[in-house]
Amino acid sequence: MALVISSPHAHGGDSIRMTMLTVIIALFPAAMVSVYLFGWLAVFLISGCMLTCLLTEAVCLMLMRRSLKALLDNSAALTGLFLALTLPAGIPWWMAVLGSVFAIVLGKQVYGGLGYNLFNPALSARVILLISFPLAMTSWLIPMHVGPSALNMYDFSAALNFFLYGPDALKVGLDAITMASPLGHVKTEWTQGIGVAQALEAYHYSYLDAFLGREAGSIGETSALALLIGGIYLLARHTITWHIPFAYIGTMLLLAAIFSTVSPEHFAPPMFHLFAGGLILCAFFMATDPVSSPVTPTGQIVFGVGCGVLTWAIRTFGGYPEGAMFAVVLMNCTVPLIDHYCRPRVYGHGGGRP
């Protein structure tokens, strides 16, 4: 052994593989809820995205003549799972495949692979999909147990048929199987001059349903409860720290509380914002993606606050009903700057203490 190895000669045993696996495990409750709500469609989406991501990663690694061992680090599988959970159940299969390829190629490998990407791969792919296919990406299937739908997603052949050939296969109109998401509904009504409270009443909005996940939305985003269980697991395993999720959600709640108190007609209440759309998924899982978030605690708080402000602003004033993924992707750009300016105080350097 000629190589010079220097101390420490002990290691705690953490690995990238386990870190990624922990996040996958943390997403398990949300994935289960998505299967409960969207039946086989969720299964197809999740497995399709994960497989495509792994395949794309393998192709990229081969093209770059790198070891295929990198597939085992679970990062590509996690990206696939992330992406699937942020997609609406009704999108065509090829869109999901395209998104997965985008996520791996444009979101990760073009920067040099794991650890070098500026943006969260899954979220950047979702943003690309949303901008490219706005209609498909905002048509929400009526989940099982929520309302009468012409599509029984627990029926394997019906679901497969729908997944492969789209709504045309059913010979029913889109209206018979889709509904508006709460965020979308409020936004549409608001553009027609109807106040928030009135819009929510017309929607039969229930906070309990929103918390449990009995509402329309992307397959993994609906259940705040399932996501919170996963988030707490990540916190308990020290995979993430509290800084980003708390700063992010706290900022959202604060802004919503202030504005909805001042003008309840124009601004949605804080609890609505909390349970709606992808906030909790983004706050606990996407914004905390280690590669594309700041490393210092202060930086993470700044990052979380920035995400909160942007999400609230886009939801309230923007053209899109949901702003969480835009907010995170935008804040991803600022990470190198935040890291530079938000370094912790070094031992023995000022700080008032002798």
Partner 1 sequence: MPAMLRTLAQKLGMLAHGFQGGVHPQDNKLTATMPIEECPLAPLYILPLKQHIGEACIPLVEVGDKVLRGQKIAKAEGYVSVPLHAPTSGTVVKIEEHPVVHPSGMSRPCIFIEADGLDEEDKPLEPLTNWRELEPAILRERVRVCGIAGLGGAVFPTFIKLVHDKNYPIQTLILNGIECEPYLTNDHQMMLEEAEEILQGMAIIMHMVGACSGIIAIEDNKRDAAEAMQQALAENSELAAVRIAVLPTRYPQGSEKQLIYSLTGKEVPAGKLPMHAGVLCQNVGTTRAIRDAVLFGKPLTERLVTVSGDALPRPANMRVRLGVPLRYVFAHCGLEDYDGIEILLGGPMMGERLRHPDVPVIKSSIGLLAMRQETIMQAHAVEEPCIRCGHCGQACPAGLVPNLLADQCRSDQFEKAEAYALFDCIECGACSYVCPANIPLVQYFRYGKGQIAQLRRAQAFAESSRQRSEARDARMAREQEAKAARRSRVREEMAPAPAAENAGAGSGASKKTEES
Contact footprint for partner 1 (CB under 8 A): 4-12, 14-16, 18-19, 73, 113-116, 238-239, 241, 243, 290-291, 293-298, 300-301, 339, 343-349, 351, 353-354
Cβ 313 to partner 1 shortest distance, Å: 23
Residue with Cβ nearer partner 1 (319 or 350): 350
Residue with Cβ nearer partner 1 (11 or 171): 11
Rounded Cα distance, 225 and 228, in Å: 5
Q: How far is CA 213 from CA 38, 147, 184, 191, in A?
A: 12, 13, 16, 26
Rounded Cα distance, 233 and 13, in Å: 19
Residue with Cβ nearer partner 1 (114 or 324): 114
The string of DSSP letters for 120-166 reads -HHHHHHHHHHHH-HHHHT-EEPPTTTS--S--TTSHHHHHHHHHH-
Q: CA nearest 177: which of 140, 145, 214, 205? A: 140
Which amino acid does the sequence have at 50? Answer: M
Task: Indicate the length of the chain as a whole number.
Answer: 354
Residue with Cβ nearer partner 1 (9 or 171): 9
Cβ 345 to partner 1 shortest distance, Å: 6
Cβ 284 to partner 1 shortest distance, Å: 15
Cβ 1 to partner 1 shortest distance, Å: 8
Place of tokens 């329309």: 216
For residue 311, the tally of other CB atoms under 10 A from its CB is 32
Cβ 78 to partner 1 shortest distance, Å: 11
Rounded Cα distance, 227 and 30, in Å: 6
Cβ 207 to partner 1 shortest distance, Å: 31
Cβ 294 to partner 1 shortest distance, Å: 8
Residue with Cβ nearer partner 1 (149 or 237): 237
* 242 CB-contact burial (10 Å; exposed 0-12 / middle 13-18 / buried 19+): middle
Cβ 301 to partner 1 shortest distance, Å: 6
Contact 194, 187 (CB under 8 A): no
Residue with Cβ nearer partner 1 (266 or 343): 343
The string of DSSP letters for 161-204 reads HHHHH-GGGGTS-GGGTEE--HHHHHHHHHHTT--HHHHHHHHT
Q: What share of the chain is helix, strand, coil (3-state, %, to 5)?
A: 65, 0, 35
Residue with Cβ nearer partner 1 (10 or 262): 10
Residue with Cβ nearer partner 1 (61 or 144): 61
